Structure 1
């Protein structure tokens, strides 16, 4: 039987927190109740990499993290403490930012089409020399130590082409160094999204698969890796075929970083255990949003409907960032203009259709594109006929590999920053157009997960989330106070505005969600948000005056004593309900169907924003001290220390690990009484979870005589060690914590 962990704990291994540091953390994780250590990628990465997704050599453990011996020490530590080991794996691309660091890419640049690695990368060799868009407006090429150099960039020289000036040598190479602005329109190799420094590899080729996976599969066969998290499957030519080959070579737990649209399912043919949990994140977080806040917050944001902004943002991506990809696809269908390809990309209802399984999604995209651009209908029909006739042909494959790029860059990295109605909903895998999730939808999703994907991962925070689970939990409170927040936001903006309304509203929510936050952290986040939204500035075309204003805004707001006092007073008003939401969503995730992941540090309240903010150092010593007290029977208050969250995490994880038989099945439980809508509860096979929702509204009335009936048996709340009657008044059950974890001691 394939190993499935009781839970995972994600560690971002980096030079500042290397493999030996991770090994030193293992005893703490065992005490916390974790089932498996789960690390970011460990293969050799670009120099100084802090995340590991920029692999340069898949044949060796990253020497900057301690190398092979340190990796073995981490595995040994996990084994000695009874923990599994799960590894993040990147099959889609490799880093080429520093060519000399990547021996395969260096060989391709040196020998061109004759390189033994020429077919390892997804290069369009019909385009001639490989374009490398790194040149700026100044500086010249030079010859340096037998290499071609431009500032600190160095490139190989093909044998026999060394004579002459730098410009003459350059003209003889298998690559061409061009201005950086030419990359988005003229690049001749597939990349990861619009990042030219990450070149895609052809892992669908058996030899490439073998070369890129041999080392990690050696670790799996040696019993040193129990599970793999597969990054970005949507970029692969044939994800289903890839997973089948991987499964043949790795009998271990497999989860995939697949973002599912609301209502979408993983392809049934994939031999995997499930996703990495963004679908769960949407459902769990959304059930704490008050639908009554939709109208006033929509009025406050004053933006177009999300589907309008979404289409506009996707089109922007096809016209600016991914022009080269649109042209490469169009070239496969003679007579079809690139804009017809782009229109199809914009129209996708999901990230990617997996033909022939995903034919319904494909047809929906075709119909939407035709209706949107009747002038391109003939060209769209040509693409449609070709794709359906050859669903595994190159045209179909390229379109499928690219649609996810357009959707991800258009939605998550553009539209989500332009639609600040309630930013708690603007999360990876989220649906900002849906104002929250009903309890009925939550229960249906959990039951479906238990039935079909019980071994899939669930998550609330990841290295890719736009804001941490606890920031979202606090921002969700605004849906219960929409008029009050709207009035404050308008007054604050009149006093200290940024000059771009959507960024302004996002900024106030970010400030409230992360308070207390330093001006430096908030400024760095808003700089990224402004560039991602692409309204007044962008990563490519800078408005330096506007960027300077954005950078100065946090310090100006926090330095305005009267305004800062108002902000702090409102934070004090929403902080308590935010803690309630945070504990509620954490319990629902940890006790619910699936394998729960805890992102590093989030066992306490964590108010992080998008990367790199969420890769800041974690104070594990402080967490260890709090854990010491919990182990001695301490019942902490719900306060800024976050100890109450640690209590919930530790209690639930330890119970999952020690008594896994309790965590099977799924059945909703419904409260009865005037405040019933404020309780969300479910029962599994001997354990029940109860969470408070919409706490601001609840505070106005209290639980009154609302009760919850439990299945037959003798029940104990593990968070308070108190016995619980079969019909329990919620005012008694939730008098100390807004959540309860109930265990049936006998049947």
Structure 2
């Protein structure tokens, strides 16, 4: 029987990214540092077996073994032992929605390619074996070719090979993708030129007589063939000759006819990668052909995929799981309930879930919370000055000479995704909707075309990633609200369609049409359709919003973050407090993240850019000046040559946000010092342009346009060629960076003190001025961090006040951020109940600068914490001091007469009912105060 009881709750986690360059031995060496930093758990990226060369681990090919590129089983066990010796548990990022396919590494996928719908694993992948595209009946589309099938075949890049170890035959595309030949067709390969091979070929052709042991009998025959070729040179030569007869000569298409005929009879159809948009017949992770969706709702698949991870939970190696892409599953709630029931012991469980602005995590999901995208945007929103929105909007429109509302950008991008990369999935949904319609005479005349147009518009208008209708109960109020909204908007947009089609789809998506018996509709078909639409709307939102619209709408890119809302400029203080109080009440152990492997900008890049919201007029002047300088140098005074004005505007924001701290305030940098940063900027701009899909794309790069942008970047960052630009840029950059680091410290303190469980992404204990991945997955200099932690800890132990003041002045090296992180993690370790179970209460502030402060208390029994965080540093710099601005002492902390700032050690005596803010924060942007042991009433 599984153990019962509350799950272990991490105090704080640290996220390292495992890959071939950072394996189990590297992580083990990190354990003493992480323990000293103060986290309780290592939050590991996926380390189950992935495709060779994977840089992230999300393309798992075997859930049952460790990734050999990360190290051996012994090294993994040694790492886990070292973690435990240092008081560190583990939380694993687990991927249930999809697997890596293609290549030659996924045994399930290869078996499906070999046997088609008769494979034992055919039902485990989400494959449509009976599509409208009849040429794919009982076939699996394999869209991995870089050119038309015929061209690849003629070029000799589809080659039949014999595999002597297994005794099998497969076609290899580019020598990389293995496409097995079905053993039923081996006779056509082996031929009759050799008597033993003729006999074996005959045995392979007789495999159907061995049902239901066809596959097992085939393995026996393959083993016999392998043994023969090992033992007898004449047999091996005969096999090689048979293979040569089928392979042609590169450049001579007629010589490939025999292999083509054999390929046509297989259970796979090799095709150009672009064919996937129209004809894909397996569910993918978003639109990535190499990641195939799994039907994790199947009990036998669930048991198989989780067996190894459950063993790690059972022996205590793991204490928690982070579930990747929960919205990709057919039934997220059902999956999570089964996960809890089947696990051998209680464990910490969070889900990667992106919440829309009005959306809340489902109360009936048995989880501790989300991985914190909404928190990252909440904290950033607190630092953004809403007073700057009008100026920013005007500057953006004037600079790019046009523009459209963000909602229109999102709509256009979602439509583009459905008309291009994900058109095939929409076709299938329309087909299935038409099949349901034909089940009842009242709806039989709804054609597939009409239903497809209506569905496309509904999905475009969905205000959330997905709903969670599952047919077990009536749709929730939240699901009905979102479906009602989407259909109401779709009706207004698609006025050429008869309104009745939207009535039909409304009843279909809510499953209302089968709420009563004898509806005339198949309940199974209706519920299945509604759930499949939910699996489709999420990827469309992700690809349309995050991966397209976020790269087109560049008004203020600090807001263009995963889970963010670029059209909402800042978070009002009451809304910030309300969100934290709700988390404390419902999800007190949710993960709080400010950087992840998926964030578009580093946490300190965003915090620095937030300063711009306070100076919209100055920002407008700066970008116009920079543009004139750089455009004039290129002879483009009118600003019409590449890059376009929108990409240029993005470049200035990224340049300002990511400019290295060590190059700030040092004058004109040397060319060598800028070279690495320039390469990072070029990579980020290429990705941004291709994701925007306006001038260039991943599938069809426009090298001329891209080179125009890259040469623009190079000229801007070459001191010998653009000294005038850098002379204009650097003073403003220095000011913004100097103010931005104060935002960074506030952001760090809030993550470590607000209700929830904080996570630190690898390396971000020092400044994280990264750009979009892969820039945010660069190697981390842990030797530097170990050294800085040792030095800072020793200095603080000698004199906290002086050390803090020095670090505040010398902010460039990031020591103050690491010191703040370690200090607050130490306090969390010493007061676990305060952070895990305490209340959250805003503290009233009054005076002329009340809106500059975010103050709150955490209390549990007699233990308490008071946090005073200053925001809007540019406005504070222009009007310094906290004169006449006060806050009310926490009423529930009766008896506390002295409070100590944890970082600086400064002690404040609580006299009367209010305190002057200046006495609490001093020169620091944030103060975290705890009752001081020297005095209680």
Equivalent position of 2:213 in the other structure: none
Q: Structure 1: how far apart are the matches of 2:333 and 2:152? A: 46
Query: How far apart, CA to CA, are the structure 2 residues paired with 1:351 and 1:321?
Result: 18
Whether the 8 Å CA contact 2:112–2:121 is kept in 1: the answer is: yes
Which of 914, 918, 929 is the aligned partner of 1:742? 929
- In the other structure, the counterpart of 1:426 is 560
1:131 is matched with which residue?
A: 141
Give yes or no for contact 2:854–2:870 (8 Å, CA) kept in 1: yes
**1:301–1:419 contact (8 Å) kept in structure 2:** no
5+ residue gaps, structure 1, are: none
- 2:160 corresponds to which residue? 143
Indicate the residue corresponding to 2:199 in structure 1.
none
Structure 1 equivalent of residue 74 of structure 2:
69
- Where 2:307 maps in the other structure, the secondary structure is helix
Kindly indicate whether residue 383 of structure 2 is the aligned counterpart of residue 360 of structure 1.
no
1:513 equivalent in alignment to 2:662: no
Alignment of 1:651-730 (within 5 A): 651-663=823-835, 664-685=838-859, 686-702=864-880, 703-711=882-890, 712=894, 713=896, 714-726=898-910, 727-730=914-917
Give matches, 1:187-198, under 5 Å.
187-198=280-291
Measured in 2, the distance between the counterparts of 1:150 and 1:52 equals 23
Between the aligned partners of 2:76 and 2:458, the Cα distance in structure 1 is 45
What corresponds to 1:491 in structure 2? 625
| Alignment of structure 1 residues 239-250 onto 2, 5 Å | 239-250=332-343
| 1:380 CA displacement | 2.9
Q: Residue 606 of structure 1 corresponds to which residue in structure 2? A: 768
**Residue 628 (structure 1) shift:** 0.7
1:586: Cα distance to partner?
1.2
Question: Displacement of 1:143 after TM fit?
Answer: 1.4
The answer to whether structure 1 residue 39 and structure 2 residue 44 are counterparts is: yes
When residues 67 and 367 of structure 1 are mapped into structure 2, their CA distance, relative to the original with a 3 A threshold, is farther
Range with bigger deviation, 268-277 or 730-739: 730-739
Q: Is the 8 A contact 1:348 1:361 kept in 2?
A: yes
1:666 to partner: Cα distance: 0.2
What displacement does 1:736 show? 3.8
Q: 1:260 corresponds to which residue?
A: 355
* TM-score, normalisation: structure 2: 0.78
Do structure 1's residue 203 and structure 2's residue 296 form an aligned pair?
yes
- Tell me the distance in 2 between the aligned counterparts of 1:432 and 1:687: 33
Residue 488 of structure 1 deviates from its aligned partner by 1.4
2:270 aligned with 1:177: yes
Tell me whether 1:387 sits opposite 2:509 in the alignment.
Answer: yes
Distance 1:523 1:238 in 2: 41
Q: Matches of 2:363 and 2:916 in 1, distance apart?
A: 43
Q: Larger deviation: 151-160 or 488-497?
A: 488-497
Q: Give the superposed CA RMSD.
A: 1.5
Of 342, 348, 351 in structure 1, the residue corresponding to residue 465 of structure 2 is 351
Q: How far apart in 2 are the matches of 1:603 and 1:38?
A: 15
Q: Is the 8 A contact 1:6 1:595 kept in 2?
A: yes
TM-score for both structures, normalised by structure 1: 0.98
The answer to whether the aligner puts 1:541 opposite 2:700 as a matched pair is: yes
For the 8 Å contact 1:62–1:68, the answer to whether it is kept is no
Matches of 1:265 and 1:244 in 2, distance apart? Answer: 19
8 Å Cα contact 1:20/1:74 also seen in 2? yes
Q: Which residue of 1 aligns with 2:180?
A: 156
Which of 295, 306, 312 is the equivalent residue of 2:406? 306
Deviation at 1:130, TM superposition (A): 0.7
Within 2, Cα distance between the matches of 1:328 and 1:652?
A: 53
Shift of 1:222: 1.4
Distance 1:655 1:563 in 2: 46
Unaligned runs of 5+ in 2: 1-5, 132-136, 163-168, 190-245, 247-257, 398-402, 435-446, 470-474, 515-522, 632-641, 661-673, 797-802
The answer as to whether partners of 2:907 and 2:932 remain within 8 angstroms in 1 is no
**Any idea what the Cα deviations from partners look like across 1:355-384, whole Å, max 9, x if unmatched?**
223222122111111121122343332222
8 Å CA contact 1:523–1:553 kept in 2: the answer is no
DSSP-derived class of the 1:312 partner: helix
Higher deviation after alignment, 443-452 or 534-543: 534-543
Contact 1:587 / 1:739 at 8 angstroms: preserved in 2? yes
- Distance in 2, matches of 1:425 and 1:135, equals 37
CA deviation after TM superposition for structure 1 residue 51, in Å: 0.5
Alpha-carbon distance in 2 for matches of 1:631, 1:34: 16
In 2, Cα distance between equivalents of 1:9 and 1:369: 44
- 1:500 aligns to what? 644
Cα deviation per residue 1:685-742 (whole Å; 9 max; x = unaligned)?
A: 1012221100000111112232333224121101111112224432233234211111
Once the two structures are superposed, the pairs formed by residues 209-228 of structure 1 within 5 Å of their partners are 209-228=302-321
Distance 2:42 2:587 in 1: 21
1:293 aligns with 2:293: no
Contact 2:483 2:509 in 1 (8 A): no
Residues 567-595 of structure 1 deviation map (CA, whole Å, 9 limit, x = unaligned): 22111010111001111011111100010
8 Å CA contact retained: 1:354, 1:400: yes
Task: Compute the displacement of 1:36 (Å).
Answer: 0.8
Contact 1:523 1:552 in 2 (8 A): no
Q: Structure 1 residues 111, 317: closer, same or farther in 2, change over 3 A?
A: same
**Aligned equivalents of 2:795, 2:866: Cα separation in 1:** 22
Please tell me whether the aligned partners of residues 148 and 166 of structure 1 are also in contact (alpha carbons under 8 angstroms). Answer: no
Contact in 2 for aligned 1:424/1:472 (Cα 8 Å): yes
Q: CA deviation at 1:626?
A: 1.2
Contact map agreement 2:908 2:919 (CA 8 A) in 1 = no
Deviations 1:606-644 (A, max 9, x none): 111111111101111111111112221432413111011
- Deviations along 1:391-420, one digit per CA (max 9) or x if unpaired, are 971110110001111111111111111111
Matches within 5 A, 1:72-151: 72-98=77-103, 100-127=104-131, 128=137, 129-137=139-147, 138-140=151-153, 141-145=158-162, 146-151=169-174
SS in 2 for 1:575: helix
Distance 1:271 1:430 in 2: 25
- Alpha-carbon deviation of 1:263? 2.6
- Inter-partner Cα distance in structure 1 for 2:628 and 2:420: 34
Deviation for aligned residue 1:132 = 0.9
Structure 1 residue 267: deviation in Å? 1.4
- For the 8 Å contact 2:140–2:267, the answer to whether it is kept is yes
Once structures 1 and 2 are overlaid, which stretch shifts more, 507-516 or 160-169? Answer: 160-169
Deviation string 1:265-304 (CA, Å, 9 cap, x unpaired) is 1112111110001111111110100111111111122221
Aligned partners of 2:48 and 2:62 also within 8 Å: yes
SS of match in other structure, 1:632: helix
Aligned residue pairs total: 746
**What SS class does the counterpart of residue 307 from structure 1 fall into?**
helix
Query: For the pair shown, which has the larger CA radius of gyration, 1 or 2?
Result: 2
Q: Are 2:328 and 1:315 aligned?
A: no
The DSSP-based 3-state class of the residue aligned with 1:161 is helix
How far does residue 68 in structure 1 lie from its aligned partner after superposition?
Answer: 2.4
